[in-house]
Structure 1
Amino acid sequence: MTRRISTLLSTVAVAALIGGCSLLTSVPEPVTVESRIAGLETEGLDVSAPVEIRWNAHMVPWITAESDADGAYALGYVHAHLRLGQMEILRRAASGQLAEVAGPLAADLDQTLRTIGYRRAAEANYPALPAETKLWLDRFAEGVNAYVARLDELPHEYRLFAFEPKPWSAIDVLAFGRLAGSDVNWLVSIGLLGLTDREDWPEIWDEVMRFNGGSLPSIAELEADRDGGRLLAALLFTLGGDARAGSNAWAVSGARTASGAPMLATDPHLGITVPNIWLLAGLKTPSFEVVGMMPAGMPVFGLGRNRHLAWGATNLRARSSDLIDVSGLPDSAFTTVREEVPIRFGFDRDIEIRVSPYGPVITDAPMVDDPQGRQLALRWVGQGGSDELSAYMDAARATGVGEFHAAMESFAIPGLAFVLAAADGDIAIGTAARLPARPHGAPGGLVVQPPESGEADPWNTMLTASSLPWIVNPEKGFVASANNPTAEAVTPLTIFDTPPDRIAVIESHLRPAGNVDREFMAKLQRNTHSPSAVVLRDTIVEAAEKAGLGSRVPDELAEWNGDYEADSRGALLLEGMIAGLATPVYEALGEVDVLEVVSRWAWFRMKLARDLLRLTPEQALTALEKGFEEMEAAGEEFAIWGDMHRVQLRHPLANAPVIGGRYIFGDVPTGGSNETVMKSAHSPAGERHWAFYGSQARQISDMADPDENHFVLLGGQDGWLNAEGFSDQLPLWQRGDYIRLPLTRTAVEAGFPTVTVLRPKE
């Protein structure tokens, strides 16, 4: 979801600048961590007792409060200090209020976001929350507002867009949570609508499904499948975004670790942008003692550790939505919601949102179209009642696997596979989601479903964490997830699987491992091996030999081991070959219009290998010759993969015209590729390019010691542009180093020596 958000921010940046915001607003001057901390106002705040905030050298806060309410307030105060500019744009996206600052170019986007109804869902959910959760949310928002009220200088984003801050509320926080939980499946389905009127749509869908849920095919299997139907899109980018969802997480039993206690490693895969979507923090109140990663602007520890338990997570791609054809329903079946979209530099837009018994009519939105002219409603679990915030709060206080599992009963979106390591020796993997009770074998592959009612409607029964798979202490001594389903469930968990590259590599290293330590876990998090790339390489080599071009295959490619290390020559040559080969392959097949879609699809290498085998000998010869030309050109321009494949710390404003170069804060070589454990996703390219998606935060925790928790962000902790803490973790990231986030008081005092105290009003 984060890359979708990043693209929304880019749209806002470009639209606002074109709309008349100042091109003369310069990036702030560099400022040190010490100066940023010293700039925090600390007097006369709405806390019942002093709140201590200790800071380390990377501007990570460790908050100690005498009450939970004061802890939530302090979190809001600190989040705003670190990320207010980022938070404001995300808040506007969730509520469909981008055109208010960006102008007419964002109006259609606002209308579409409002049709989906993230904010309506938040407003409907808030009254049903437990009193404790409401207080936590309200106090967090009060902390944000207290910080804004004391600002002497607004963040750069406010000044660039020339708008004033507005008060925050609990609804704002909940709405962003709904946006962040958008379902991969309905985003994919909306993208596939354009194909459903094709005569060969059933064959297209069959091929999509053949790529999901299977193991990596061999060349022989590819050869046998060479006459299969065309795959046009399995994961289509919609609403300007990316329908991917990635991450790795694994836990190892204490019987196989050096410390004798379980260990956990997790690294979320999201859009590569700065500020990072995560910020690091520690918190101690009467109810909480926790360290970990928090989404900016949300008072939850999405990934983290308390004294008893560490947790990681991966997106399950859970099928929590349907597109329903409501064309045949009478007008009386719909209700109408009327809203006004404020538009800067333009006339405000009055919109009508029709809501069917199954959800809002998404095809009424200007950015969603069905070629068959159907009226389609979005039926999504996220539009109903659920309480992820309470689930995360209870999980952060859990003393064992059982309590964590019970905490997830109210959790619905996005469906996650949680991986747990406990100080009592347990390890576990489990599914947290709310899913309709669809039977296996049902026509779940249809992009558009007919209306159902009564006993035929699977949405009458919703499955939750208590009835979905949870595995505790398996005999193999480890649990792992790389977006693959946790186990067979009573209902289909997903439609669109990820390729098995990452989970296969993770399990191949964990299965024989003993004496596992932090160095082992960190090395595995940076693993760059891609089994599917090896299959594609072997297919290309075999095809070249058949075409009489075997002599053009360089030894560095033929002998390449499949590792996308930054210093790999073989990875560079394969990617140069792919960049040259892809277009002529699909031109020969008459499918050039699908290349842009499939080139960013997780299964692209396997599809390209199979489609190469579909060509006639003459077509293959032409395509391979072009591939070799591009490969050789890339090999002449660049020496190794990292020369061509880069990580760039880009603020979303880097996409703006004229001034975009001001907002690039780092450009370094990197290893990894689309389906490596250390993911750094990219499109086919024989020229210098930048990863747009992938590993952007890491955690390792050893349950033998409450202080052995290690985290790092790709970028930095501070969202103030050009500040020292904005990008200071990039060197750590490159080296595979981490920041220690301890739990014991002695270690916190030693590692977080700078102290500020929020003091109550006199």
Structure 2
Amino acid sequence: MALISIICISFGAWLLLRGSLPTLDGTLKIPALALPVTVERDSLGTVTIRGENRADVTWTLGYIHAQERFFEMDLMRRSASGELAELFGGAALPIDRRARAHRMRARAEAELANAPAADRDLIARYRDGVNAGLSDLSVRPLAYLLTRTQPREWSSADTLLVVDAMYFSLNDASNTRELAFSRMKTALPDAAWQFLSAIGGAWDAPLSGPAMRWPKLPTPADLDLGKLDPATMKSDGPVSDAVPGSNSFAVSGSLAGGAGLIANDMHLDLRVPGIWFRTRLVYPNPRRQGQTVDVTGASLPGTPAMVVGSNRSVAWGFTNSYGDFTDWVRVLPDAGDANRYKTADGSDAVVVHQESISVKGAEAETLEVRDTRWGPILAKDADGTPLALAWTAHRPGAHNLELMNLETAETSDEAIAIAQRAGMPAQNFLVADRFGSIAWTIAGRMPHRTGNYDARLPADWSQPGTGWDGWLAHPDYPLISNPPWQRLWTANSRLVDSGAPLDRLGDGGYDLGARQMQIRDALNAKQQFTAADMLEIQLDDRALFLKPWYERLDKLVKQSPEDPELARIGGILTDWNGHASVDSVAYRLVRAWRNEVKDTVLAGFAAVVRKQYPDFQMPKLAQAEHAVWSILQQRPPHLLPPGYASWEDLQRKCLDRVVARLDEQPGGIAARTWGERNTARIAHPLSRALPAFLARLLDMPADPLPGDSNMPRVQGPAFGASERFAVAPGDEEHGYFELPGGQSGHPLSPFYGAGHGDWVEGKPTPFLPGPSIHQLRFEPTKN
């Protein structure tokens, strides 16, 4: 009897789940459409939407996004607006409090009200399609069944909130680096501050200008770490190497047989389903009578835009630029009124907002947000002065639909102009066209800074002529078009020379240039390129960055051949093959030792800052490799942290600690392969709340993955290439497009996880959709 009950319950649950599956075939009568639209799906679930105008295509794209991905869209709008607790209860309140302080929903509604009528109309068309797609599901999506909630309709402002979610993902909205820099600047001698905060060094590989020189070591007169109390030394623990960013590179048509050739892989947190949605849109070109727009790539559910792809005339991609788009502003109180603060034109009142956060199963919480003309007050400076956050995402004009005009762009010059006008997080924008041209610029809005201040530190904007004076003018954007070297490469490192170009972009924490350099050198090693050559670079897991560390460790081990422990480690190092291979123990050991040494060296400087600020933690210093390597090369006694007899002793004790940690696990160090450490954990958002056997059904397989940070094949367990593609516009038939996590968000869909295996293996999935296996037709009806 119990077995029958279990079978009945399971069958009922299966039927319930089937009720929320998207409609794949048939004909639907739609009053909202002007003309018929067809939706085709191939074996991966790639959607091709064919219509007679972009408005109808936009409505249909919203419909399909909602049926396939509404829960993921909902998470993005809620994460940006601070409304997750309405779904998940009090556990989500800490996340909501941080997001709600930015009041993104109120800002989105104000931005929408001031948007051009054409933008509002198109967003409304998309909104209506989303709500129609959601309402046509006979059962609400699985996530709402599990959370026992009802999905809330989509609003026009929600589309802007999805863009805001990308701002949060690609920018550090808490600007913690600048807060830490303020403490470091206050507590360290200037020579030590300059040494740790420099922008670049020998690993630089910019598009213009030389590599920078790292500053000289602080002298004993500046700083002597040996005088520190060893008890003050502590490690903050490992800092993640994950850098929200990407790779993108291109070669001119003369190196690729005609059209320019571009590759792109955007590095983000990985999930099920993936963030992007494989899409092809086909409709009449409004600019060219009798011609057709045919654009293929990745759309972002929640928005009507194609984010990356190719329209047969131009192809484009993005990487995170890491310019400086957030500033802390010192809020100096007016002596006569505690609720007012000083500005360049007198004083202004602090505006207080009461934000109500709905909480599932509990009373709503009220959050007080204190706002200034520069932004909300969210932190305090090193001396206790309140700080307001100026962030491009807060400013009017930070959102628009300009990116959609790339669908009809015909040349790289047109695409560059569109990108520079786009309202989106400022990104490196790379484009290639069918005539063979390639170009790079910044897409998105950038602040125009005025006044002489270090934008990496909190500043006093109450001084006349200091702060942000609107948006940077497009003629002042950096641009490199058709360089004589015929190659362009962007990762997340500095791309421009020092001086005016770098001053305009600022330093938002550029990544170390090792990955960028490896891509540049791989491009320079060839004179002719195909899409397969671009994939080879994207999958390059050679550990060129760690090679000097391997050689240093190998030398350390060989200095004492009579030491049995070092002899054991020496045997492990013979496994080194110069790659982040899944079966390599040596790679994992060298990597862990490098991180231990780096953290130990930096801990001495952090201890100095903690004397003044006991809770200080060293921020992520992507360029710290230059500082640490410079110290190890020169071995200055005054910079040796306390507790170590020599620099050799420090390196040996770091090795002992790493080996002990690896040895204490089952099988000892010999079983500690890189693949064991770098095993995929690409999960559905709800799987953590489910029993393990159910979670396994939702999550992608736990595959050991090659690759790592500081190499082209960036890969962590739940971080890496959220897509990979390469294409020459006009020759899309020979391009490829890989996606992790699959196309559909429904676990019973044939497209759940579809294509994920190709991404794991680095197998080139065709760029264009395959033969149609499902067709859904939308026919207009009169109201």
Give TM-score, length-normalised by structure 2.
Answer: 0.81
The AA in structure 2 aligned to 1:757 is: R
- Answer whether contact 1:320 1:380 (CA < 8 A) is retained: yes
- Answer whether contact 2:305 2:401 (CA < 8 A) is retained: no
Partner of 1:450: 460
Partner of 2:437: 426
Partner of 2:675: 642
1-structure distance, mates of 2:580, 2:470:
45
2-structure distance, mates of 1:164, 1:177:
24
| Change in CA separation of 1:49 and 1:531 when aligned onto 2, cut-off 3 Å | same
Instruction: Pick one of 670, 685, 705 that aligns with 1:652.
Output: 685
**Post-superposition shift, 1:200?**
2.4
Partner of 2:713: 678
| Change in CA separation of 1:579 and 1:191 when aligned onto 2, cut-off 3 Å | closer
1-structure distance, mates of 2:267, 2:313:
26
2-structure distance, mates of 1:235, 1:588:
14
Instruction: Pick one of 618, 621, 626 that aligns with 2:657.
Output: 626
| Change in CA separation of 1:584 and 1:478 when aligned onto 2, cut-off 3 Å | closer
2-structure distance, mates of 1:418, 1:552:
49
Residue 237 (structure 2) pairs with residue 266 (structure 1):
no
Unpaired segments ≥5 residues, structure 1: 1-23, 364-368, 682-690, 743-747
| Change in CA separation of 1:632 and 1:647 when aligned onto 2, cut-off 3 Å | same
Partner of 1:312: 317
**Post-superposition shift, 1:610?**
6.2
Give TM-score, length-normalised by structure 1.
Answer: 0.83
The total of aligned residue pairs comes to 712
Residue 375 (structure 2) pairs with residue 359 (structure 1):
yes
| Change in CA separation of 1:534 and 1:25 when aligned onto 2, cut-off 3 Å | farther
| Change in CA separation of 1:609 and 1:647 when aligned onto 2, cut-off 3 Å | farther
Instruction: Pick one of 493, 504, 516 that aligns with 2:517.
Output: 504
- 1:564-604 deviations in whole A, cap 9, x for unaligned? 13343431332454577678777888869999977976457
Structure with max Cα Rg: 2
**Post-superposition shift, 1:464?**
4.0
Partner of 2:701: 666
Partner of 2:744: 718
The AA in structure 2 aligned to 1:429 is: W
- Answer whether contact 1:44 1:761 (CA < 8 A) is retained: yes
- Answer whether contact 1:73 1:139 (CA < 8 A) is retained: yes
Partner of 1:250: 249
**Post-superposition shift, 1:276?**
1.0
**Post-superposition shift, 1:170?**
1.3
- 1:352-409 deviations in whole A, cap 9, x for unaligned? 322212112224xxxxx66754321111122112254422111222111121122134
Structure 1 SS opposite 2:702 = strand
1-structure distance, mates of 2:16, 2:701:
14
| Change in CA separation of 1:640 and 1:50 when aligned onto 2, cut-off 3 Å | same
Partner of 2:645: 616
Structure 2 SS opposite 1:524 = helix
- 1:446-483 deviations in whole A, cap 9, x for unaligned? 1x2112454x2241253144311111111111111011
| Change in CA separation of 1:357 and 1:596 when aligned onto 2, cut-off 3 Å | closer
| Change in CA separation of 1:626 and 1:29 when aligned onto 2, cut-off 3 Å | farther
- 1:477-528 deviations in whole A, cap 9, x for unaligned? 1111011243234434132111111111111111131221121111111011
Instruction: Pick one of 325, 333, 338 that aligns with 2:330.
Output: 325
2-structure distance, mates of 1:461, 1:76:
33
Instruction: Pick one of 484, 490, 496 that aligns with 1:487.
Output: 496
2-structure distance, mates of 1:27, 1:206:
62
The more displaced of 608-617 and 277-286 is 608-617
- Answer whether contact 1:411 1:434 (CA < 8 A) is retained: yes
- Answer whether contact 2:326 2:391 (CA < 8 A) is retained: yes
The AA in structure 2 aligned to 1:756 is: L
- 1:200-226 deviations in whole A, cap 9, x for unaligned? 2566643442364552799x9999789
2-structure distance, mates of 1:528, 1:200:
40
1-structure distance, mates of 2:372, 2:748:
48
Structure 2 SS opposite 1:382 = helix
The more displaced of 312-321 and 540-549 is 540-549
Partner of 2:361: 345
The AA in structure 2 aligned to 1:374 is: T
The AA in structure 2 aligned to 1:568 is: S
**Post-superposition shift, 1:410?**
2.6
1-structure distance, mates of 2:456, 2:158:
35
| Change in CA separation of 1:460 and 1:637 when aligned onto 2, cut-off 3 Å | same
The AA in structure 2 aligned to 1:277 is: I
| Change in CA separation of 1:27 and 1:87 when aligned onto 2, cut-off 3 Å | farther
**Post-superposition shift, 1:545?**
4.7
Structure 1 SS opposite 2:680 = strand
2-structure distance, mates of 1:415, 1:322:
15
Partner of 1:374: 385
Residue 523 (structure 2) pairs with residue 535 (structure 1):
no
The AA in structure 2 aligned to 1:159 is: L
| Change in CA separation of 1:585 and 1:402 when aligned onto 2, cut-off 3 Å | closer
- 1:280-323 deviations in whole A, cap 9, x for unaligned? 10011234421111122111111111021000110101212211
Partner of 1:80: 66
| Change in CA separation of 1:115 and 1:299 when aligned onto 2, cut-off 3 Å | same
Partner of 1:685: none
- Answer whether contact 1:295 1:302 (CA < 8 A) is retained: yes
The AA in structure 1 aligned to 2:282 is: K
1-structure distance, mates of 2:237, 2:261:
34
- Answer whether contact 2:35 2:779 (CA < 8 A) is retained: yes
2-structure distance, mates of 1:46, 1:185:
38
- Answer whether contact 2:280 2:297 (CA < 8 A) is retained: yes
Structure 1 SS opposite 2:741 = coil
| Change in CA separation of 1:499 and 1:431 when aligned onto 2, cut-off 3 Å | same
**Post-superposition shift, 1:674?**
1.7
Partner of 1:14: none
The AA in structure 2 aligned to 1:470 is: L
- Answer whether contact 2:67 2:137 (CA < 8 A) is retained: no
**Post-superposition shift, 1:129?**
2.1
| Change in CA separation of 1:225 and 1:129 when aligned onto 2, cut-off 3 Å | same
Coordinate RMSD, CA, aligned: 4.0
Partner of 2:469: 460
Partner of 1:756: 776
Partner of 1:147: 133
- Answer whether contact 1:429 1:486 (CA < 8 A) is retained: no
- 1:41-70 deviations in whole A, cap 9, x for unaligned? 833452122211111101110001112111
Partner of 2:290: none
The AA in structure 2 aligned to 1:350 is: T
Residue 533 (structure 2) pairs with residue 520 (structure 1):
yes
Structure 1 SS opposite 2:363 = coil
Unpaired segments ≥5 residues, structure 2: 1-9, 206-210, 226-232, 286-292, 341-347
The AA in structure 2 aligned to 1:564 is: A
2-structure distance, mates of 1:276, 1:356:
37
2-structure distance, mates of 1:647, 1:325:
43
- 1:424-447 deviations in whole A, cap 9, x for unaligned? 11111112243333479842231x
The AA in structure 1 aligned to 2:552 is: T
The more displaced of 671-680 and 724-733 is 724-733
The AA in structure 2 aligned to 1:275 is: P
**Post-superposition shift, 1:706?**
4.1
Partner of 1:5: none
The more displaced of 115-124 and 576-585 is 576-585
The AA in structure 2 aligned to 1:144 is: V
Structure 1 SS opposite 2:71 = helix
